[in-house]
A = this chain, B = another copy of it.
Amino acid sequence: MSQAAHKHDVFQAIADPTRREVLRLLSQKEMPISKITEHFPMTRTAITKHLHVLAEAKLVSGRKEGREKVYQLHPEPLEEVQQWISFYEKFWNNKLSILKYIVENEDKN
């Protein structure tokens, strides 16, 4: 897989169903690679590559703990997607976007 820097943004990271499922798993509990792999019908090597893509998008990070590498979720980058989407929300749900606008401005006081 590519090692070129910032080649994988958050939009690309979440494009793959396996990676979305990894995020869901890590949203419940941090896990070492082998534990994550148990949930998928593919090799640990493949999961490791997906984890690297997610890490490049800063959606996960891993720390070494003994001989394990424990990965944990960092959902913050998803905010960029949420903001991108919010532009289109007005097309299907005016009420919600108006409410969001009110809440966000309320915060600034």
Chain B residues with CB under 8 A of A89: 82
How many copies of this protein are present in the complex? 2
Q: Which of B1, B27, B95, B103 contacts A95 (CB 8 A)?
A: B103
Instruction: Indicate the size class of the contact surface on chain A.
Output: 20 to 34
Contact assessment for A96 and B100 in the assembled complex, using a CB-CB cutoff below 8 Å? yes
Which candidate, A29-37, A38-46, A61-69, A73-81, is the interface stretch facing chain B? A73-81
Question: What are 17 pairs between A and B in contact, CB < 8 Å?
Answer: A1-B24, A4-B17, A11-B14, A11-B15, A12-B15, A23-B88, A27-B88, A27-B91, A75-B88, A75-B91, A76-B91, A76-B92, A78-B88, A81-B81, A82-B85, A95-B103, A96-B103
